[in-house]
Amino acid sequence: MKYLVSALACLFLPVAALAQYTATDTLVSARTLVSNTKVTRLLLAKSGGFLLGGEYDGGFNSSILAEGTGTRLLWYPQKAAFRAGYVDATQWDDANIGSYSIAAGYNTRALGDYSTAFGYNNVAAQVGSTALGQYCIASGAASVALGYYAHTNARQGSFVFSDRSVPDDGNIFTDESFRASVNHSANWRVSGGFRIFTSSNLSTGVTLQSGAVTSNWNQTNAVISTSTGAYLSTSGVWTNTSDVHKKHLFEAVSGEDVLARLRQVPIQRWSYKADNARVRHLGPMAQDFRRAFGLGPDSVSIGTVDADGVALAGVQALDARTRTQAAALAALQAENQALRARLDALERPGTPAGLPLGAGLGLTLAVLGGVVAWRRKAAPAAH
């Protein structure tokens, strides 16, 4: 034990730890003088806890204790860096160790200051970057690469998560990496769907999926599916939930009343302020729609089910009008046909009633003329 303590003390003699050990269950202790003050470099407690001290200098005034291939647990106080696991080359050489960095696993490399790399063949190359998983590379400042072949692609502030849906083909000239394309972005490759739950029993939430899988709410062929029943289909159609079992407080509506209210709603062409002025739309204002129909939760939005409902009620009312007008027109047509039949009968030759139209009119006028003349002659006798 004496030789082990001596060896460990020599190992940490070049460094100075300013943190002071306060426990009383010391099993092994190694200290040195720093400015005439005893400073702890190594402590092993009876409880099994241990402390390794040191003094950071950026690695400029001392050398790392081990480089090259091998399995090791390495505390590098001059860079306040930690390494544990195995490397097959220079991943843990001094040049590949960032200040205040941590790397553990197999061939992990954390060469950026304040960087972290865990897992298998991962690289955290920039300041504040993190790489976790397998074959992940965080090459952007403050970027995070997680999963399998995730690559932040030198895009700072980016987050990349990659699933294992694209396996390594063993060809060093092909790249299975899923890469960030812009700075400050979150990028996900999740072929089984991105599932967000907003309740502990997983009954509410949203799923983003490819359409090839079924959502947690049994919606197929959907790109966006929700626990409410609404979803965006793979063909780009937004479908609202309209299940009668999810509704109550039913009221009948008058189609004519809907049309009367609709006449009071201005329909205009307009553009959203957030859009280019060339992007035009057609429709009512939410305030006018709310004032006319009282539908929806507020006066600044129009629900698609409400707009559809007004349109359908209006169409039904117009259909009722059309049917009424069609019935009246049919009656007029029937009456016109009957009158035409009578007229045809009057004009048909060879029948008692069938005088020619001209003769019939002449005879009628002659009779009327005779009646008028007779009344004029009879009028003085009456006086």
Do 219 and 148 lie in one domain? The reply is no
Tokens 């016109």 belong to: 336
Among 167, 189, 211, where does a domain finish? 189
- Beta strands 238-239 and 231-233: pairing type? antiparallel
Do 33 and 144 lie in one domain? The reply is no
Q: What is the mean pLDDT, run by run of 10 residues, along the chain of 383 residues?
A: 41 43 75 84 87 89 91 96 98 97 98 98 98 97 97 98 90 84 97 93 92 82 92 92 94 96 97 96 97 96 96 96 95 93 83 55 60 58 46
Do 273 and 342 lie in one domain? The reply is yes
Asked if the structure places residue 59 within a domain, the reply is no
Asked if the structure places residue 61 within a domain, the reply is no
**What is the domain count for the chain?**
5
pLDDT per position as a tens digit, 289-331: 999 999 999 999 999 999 999 999 999 999 999 999 999 999 9
Do 177 and 83 lie in one domain? The reply is yes
Asked if the structure places residue 267 within a domain, the reply is yes
Task: Please provide the distance, in angstroms rounded to a whole number, between the alpha carbons at the two ends of the chain.
Answer: 163
- Beta strands 186-189 and 178-179: pairing type? unpaired
Do 119 and 155 lie in one domain? The reply is yes
Asked if the structure places residue 118 within a domain, the reply is yes
How high is the pLDDT of residue 213? Answer: 79
How high is the pLDDT of residue 12? Answer: 41
Burial of 124 (0-12, 13-18, 19+ CB in 10 A): buried
How high is the pLDDT of residue 264? Answer: 96
Do 96 and 176 lie in one domain? The reply is yes
C-alpha 225/C-alpha 215 separation (Å) is 7
How high is the pLDDT of residue 46? Answer: 87
Asked if the structure places residue 57 within a domain, the reply is no
CATH code where residue 121 lies? 2.150.10
Asked if the structure places residue 273 within a domain, the reply is yes
Residue 100, CA atoms < 13 Å, CB-side half-sphere: 6
Asked if the structure places residue 120 within a domain, the reply is yes
Question: What range defines the domain where residue 316 resides?
Answer: 256-347
Among 245, 265, 280, where does a domain finish? 245
C-alpha 99/C-alpha 107 separation (Å) is 18
Other CB atoms within 10 Å distance of the CB of residue 331 = 10
**Residue 55: which of 37, 73, 79 has the closest Cα?**
79
How high is the pLDDT of residue 105? Answer: 98
Do 128 and 222 lie in one domain? The reply is no
Do 152 and 77 lie in one domain? The reply is yes
DSSP state for residue 244 in the 8-state scheme? G
Asked if the structure places residue 369 within a domain, the reply is yes
What's the alpha-carbon Rg for the chain, to the nearest Å?
46
Do 114 and 99 lie in one domain? The reply is yes
Do 74 and 185 lie in one domain? The reply is yes
Do 284 and 336 lie in one domain? The reply is yes
Do 305 and 237 lie in one domain? The reply is no
